[in-house]
Structure 1
């Protein structure tokens, strides 16, 4: 019987925000609608979430470093989110690296990418492509962004600077994503949230499984196993572990990593509950594979430089 991993952990996906800055339109919108958005009420996270709040949530998990992923900062204030992060006390390893926000189809994308790349803390960019025919569930302004020539040119600038691209999408977009990652073999893509298995029907889960397997066959793609509880609000260990094991089967431990997506994932479970699921689901794997899932893959992907 394999031992449970108890070593150092890197959390490669979480968010921080200060609501007094008034820089997060989606949180402002949620306040105005009583908190109801997308996959339920956001009311519990409509509060400041800074370094200390995050540290309290992760206190039991031996997290030695983390990656801050853009938190829907307003496009009217480009570059300001990473500058705000630079102003925080990050001496404990929280937000050691950043994935910044740049709209790749913006006329200013080239300049913004170059400016973000000058910051040694910026390791990647995210421009969400998750489109849904129901506007309430859509994170992207329009469909088929990954096929758009202007958007792709923005991605090309990203590749020239050697930045990682965090890819947040729905399973029905995975065929389009497969063409994208094949057309940009020099770019490292990191699929967010286990590929977002939002459609829990038999056909929906089959589409997710097949699409994730295809993406896992591309060596320039990695996967964050994060916020699975957003798509499985009545989760159990058994329901989450099936998804986790398929993720690892598709990508292998050396190209997959566990992540918290806090505070958003906190809408459906505590951080300790979620990491308990990760640890228990990982037990059948060797300690070397467990170390990859909890530490090594994130360390190498986001160039954190930890021993």
Structure 2
């Protein structure tokens, strides 16, 4: 990579911190592990703080980061945000955050209001109910994007000027399209490239079709991240076509780089992920490369 490419500014649009010595993260601290798409995640059960991220970033020019809620104790969602606010003031990272609120909870309005009052909050993530495979996917499940109670909470986001980070498999993006059209003033950011876990020709074709349909909604963007595969190291050969397809579908102005660190340390070093992404977009005009690594995230997350 040339010196110019090494200096390209990066906003990491999806990263996590946790301090297991002082805070409670059930998935990292409870004795029974959760089902996890990368398999064994025991290597994540350690503190991960700004100094660790800076070490992993190395010489890359990461100028800002966006912290996504890390499944902190669900009974105290605002406590994570307050901890991150203090961390940001002390350490300079994260720059902003996406907080958690259970949109279908009876007190969703109160939680959303409290989250919105913290200055570093830009949006909310609450993973809707999802089926385990395309064949199991059905519309209208409780806790899904179709659920009237879930939508009641979602409707508050626009009133508070908050965006929504959507983590759901691609086979639920039809519901996301309807959500986007029903609430056109709320920005949706799809997490982890729509989770294209099935890399067979048929699986990728279905993933592309789902992205093409949801990308017709102008208020939906996508984060290109989370491309690891269970039992396999991150590779440019397997991931470059996915990266390029996602960008071709959404355009450089609605797509952005994200590391998903430290979760994706299970499949690659930070440098491998950044270098792979930059290699995959190297044939694009420099202005588009800057959009993908920096400008789109800056605009969409209102940095």
**TM-score w.r.t. structure 1 length?**
0.90
Aligned residues: 295
The CA RMSD over aligned residues, in Å, is: 2.1
User: Could you tell me how far apart the structure 1 residues matched to 2:41 and 2:28 are?
Assistant: 8
Structure 1: give runs of 5+ residues left out of the alignment.
Answer: 135-141
User: Could you tell me how far apart the structure 2 residues matched to 1:20 and 1:76 are?
Assistant: 18
- 1:301 equivalent to 2:261? Answer no
The equivalent of 1:138 in structure 2 is: none
User: Could you tell me how far apart the structure 1 residues matched to 2:131 and 2:207 are?
Assistant: 15
The equivalent of 2:136 in structure 1 is: none
Output aligned runs, 1:204-219, within 5 Å: 204-219=203-218
Report if aligned partners of 2:257, 2:293 keep a CA contact under 8 Å in 1: yes
Q: Residues 249-278 of structure 1, C-alpha deviation per residue, up to 9 Å, x if partnerless?
A: 011111100000000011000000000101
Judging changes above 3 Å, is the alpha-carbon distance between structure 1 residues 61 and 92 closer, same or farther for their aligned structure 2 residues?
Answer: farther
User: Could you tell me how far apart the structure 2 residues matched to 1:120 and 1:81 are?
Assistant: 13
Output aligned runs, 1:66-215, within 5 Å: 66-90=65-89, 93-129=92-128, 131-133=130-132, 145-215=144-214
- 1:220 equivalent to 2:231? Answer no
User: Could you tell me how far apart the structure 2 residues matched to 1:288 and 1:91 are?
Assistant: 33
- 1:289 equivalent to 2:272? Answer no
1:93 Cα offset (Å)? 4.1
The equivalent of 1:10 in structure 2 is: 11
User: Could you tell me how far apart the structure 2 residues matched to 1:116 and 1:144 are?
Assistant: 21
Q: Residues 169-200 of structure 1, C-alpha deviation per residue, up to 9 Å, x if partnerless?
A: 10111111111111111110000000111223
Instruction: Report SS of the residue matched to 1:159.
Output: helix
Q: Residues 127-180 of structure 1, C-alpha deviation per residue, up to 9 Å, x if partnerless?
A: 01262338xxxxxxx666100001001011111111010011101111111111
1:92 Cα offset (Å)? 5.8
User: Could you tell me how far apart the structure 2 residues matched to 1:117 and 1:216 are?
Assistant: 27
